């Protein structure tokens, strides 16, 4: 839920609760005040009637009834409500009355004084409707004021949030933020500027270090490879030749790992931003042609169903992705096995027969994760494939079914 909607909702709920409590409080207070006022009025009427009776005059108030009683005990004042049918208006009327026994001129009388009033139900309905109208007006106006006021206050924050979402440390353009008169937003803006500037400097330093380190490592590796090639051309013993072959293999693996790590670093830093229209059918067929002899050497049966498919992507990354997937098929398909390549409806499915994984499938795309039987692998090929998919906005999935590994890439 957006912050603006949440604050508006909370304001509305608090307003309704406060107005409801205020309405109940007003109703109870008004009821008490009206009752006290009516009781005072009834007492006044009763005392006036008693004074008239003491002077030998009958009570002139039509709302007071005075009847002789044999009850010599004084009755404490009793206040009650009752309903009497009005013959004139043809409806029930609410009355509040006082009953008391008083001795007047040596004779006990039962006195009952009444007064009409608007019923408590009417009071309740009047207060309810008034408060309901007040709640609607107050809540409606408050919500509108709160919504537009907060929207104006939070506008620079939302704009800066969008700027931050679109910002990349790899770009040389500094982060552009909108100014705000709010002190907290100013502090946040200053902190974000400092953070992005430091992140950009650290990114550039890391990028430069990665490129320099790769170059510095690749140079001595090339020298070692060259010297080993020279040694292999000399007359050496069989044992020395075996050592040279092992050394060359290790250097080749180290050189390949260095290139793969450099590629992963570039992918992490999103250096490959150039995109173009790529014909996947052509790329797949080209790689199949290049690796045809290698598949034939292991007697791997390749079944293909490649349709015309074009995407907007980086051509180099497409080459690397397909090359790594094909290399994975070649490495892990047993002798005389089978593999399949399907390209249609925006997805590429590459499958190959083989034994199940000897580790959890959710670790398949982790860096340096490889099968115990894959001694020559550096465990970076599928990690690069996943990273290319993430950078390009594609999805890659893996599952194992019927003795077959299946990789599906959705473009």
The predicted-structure confidence for 225-240, as pLDDT tens digits, reads as follows 787 777 777 777 778 8
Residue whose entry in the numeric block shows the structure tokens 């939070």: 154
Q: What is the pLDDT of residue 242?
A: 81
Domain ranges of the chain: 3-130, 183-268, 276-410
Residue range 133-143, pLDDT digits in tens: 877 887 778 77
What are the residues whose beta carbons fall under 8 Å from the beta carbon of 57, sequence distance 6 or more? none
For the chain, the residue count is 411
Q: Which CATH number describes the domain made up of 276-410?
A: 3.30.565.10
Q: What is the mean pLDDT of residues 199-226?
A: 74
Q: For residue 42, give both structure tokens.
A: 């009834």
Of 85, 77, 71, the C-alpha closest to 113 is 77
Question: Measured over all CA atoms, what is the biggest interatomic distance in the chain, rounded to whole angstroms?
Answer: 155
pLDDT at 377: 63
- Residue 346 corresponds to which tokens in the numbers above? 């925006």
Is 375's pLDDT higher than 60?
A: no
Please report the pLDDT score of residue 350 as a whole number.
Answer: 92
* Neighbour count for residue 310 (Cβ, 10 Å): 12
Average pLDDT over residues 155-162: 83
Whether residue 111 contacts residue 64, with contact meaning beta carbons closer than 8 Å, is answered with yes
Question: What is 183-268's CATH topology?
Answer: Helix Hairpins (1.10.287)
How many CB atoms are closer than 10 A to CB 26?
14
State the Cα–Cα distance between residues 233 and 245, nearest whole angstrom.
12
Six token digits for residue 64: 């007071």
Per-residue pLDDT of 361-371, as tens digits, reads 888 888 777 77
**Model confidence pLDDT, tens digit, residues 48-84:** 887 887 777 777 777 788 888 777 655 678 888 777 7
Summarize the confidence of residues 43-51 as an average pLDDT. 82
pLDDT in tens, 234-261: 777 778 878 877 787 777 777 777 676 6
pTM of structure: 0.50
Percent of the chain with pLDDT over 70: 86
Predicted confidence at residue 351, as pLDDT, reads 92
In the chain, what percentage of residues exceed pLDDT 90? 5
pLDDT at position 243: 80
- pLDDT at position 24 is 81
What is d(CA 69, CA 109) in angstroms, rounded to the nearest whole number? 5
Q: Which of 178, 175, 176, 174 has the alpha carbon at shortest distance from 157? A: 178
Q: Is the pLDDT of residue 85 over 80?
A: no
Region 122-129: what's the mean pLDDT? 73
């Amino acid at each position: 839920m957006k912050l603006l909607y949440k604050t508006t909702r909370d304001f509305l709920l608090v307003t309704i609760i406060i107005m409801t409590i205020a309405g109940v409080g007003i109703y109870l207070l008004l009821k008490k005040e009206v009752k006290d006022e009516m009781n005072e009025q009834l007492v006044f009427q009763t005392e006036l009637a008693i004074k008239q009776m003491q002077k030998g005059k009958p009570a002139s108030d039509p709302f007071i009834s005075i009847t002789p009683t044999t009850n010599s005990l004084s009755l404490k004042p009793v206040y009650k409500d009752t309903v009497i049918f009005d013959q004139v208006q043809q409806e029930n009327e609410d009355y509040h009355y006082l009953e008391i026994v008083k001795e007047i001129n040596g004779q006990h009388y039962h006195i009952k004084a009444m007064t009409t009033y608007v019923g408590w139900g009417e009071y309740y309905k009047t207060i309810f409707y008034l408060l309901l109208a007040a709640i609607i007006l107050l809540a409606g106006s408050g919500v509108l004021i709160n919504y537009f006021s907060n929207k104006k206050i939070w506008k620079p924050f939302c704009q800066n949030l969008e700027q931050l979402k679109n910002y990349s440390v790899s770009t040389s353009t500094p982060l552009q933020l909108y100014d705000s008169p709010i002190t907290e937003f100013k502090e946040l803006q200053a902190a974000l500027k400092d953070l992005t500037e430091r992140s950009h400097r650290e990114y550039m330093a890391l990028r430069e270090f990665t490129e320099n380190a790769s170059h510095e490592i690749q140079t001595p590796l090339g020298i070692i490879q060259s010297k080993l090639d020279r040694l292999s051309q000399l007359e050496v013993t069989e044992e020395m030749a075996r050592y040279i072959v092992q050394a060359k293999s290790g250097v080749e693996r180290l050189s390949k790992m260095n290139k793969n790590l450099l590629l992963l670093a570039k992918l992490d830093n999103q250096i490959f931003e150039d995109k173009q229209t790529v014909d996947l059918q052509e790329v797949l067929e080209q790689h199949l042609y290049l690796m045809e002899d290698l598949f034939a050497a292991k007697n791997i049966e390749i079944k293909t169903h490649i349709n015309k498919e074009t995407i907007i992507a980086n051509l180099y990354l497409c080459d690397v992705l397909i090359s790594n997937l094909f290399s994975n098929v070649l490495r892990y398909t047993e002798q005389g096995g089978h593999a399949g390549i399907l390209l249609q409806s925006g997805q590429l499915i590459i499958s190959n027969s083989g034994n199940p994984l000897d580790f959890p499938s959710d670790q398949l795309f982790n860096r340096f994760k490889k099968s115990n039987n894959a001694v020559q692998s550096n465990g970076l090929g599928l990690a690069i494939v996943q990273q290319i998919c993430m950078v390009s906005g594609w999805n890659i999935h893996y599952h194992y079914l019927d003795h077959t590994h299946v990789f599906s890439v959705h473009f």
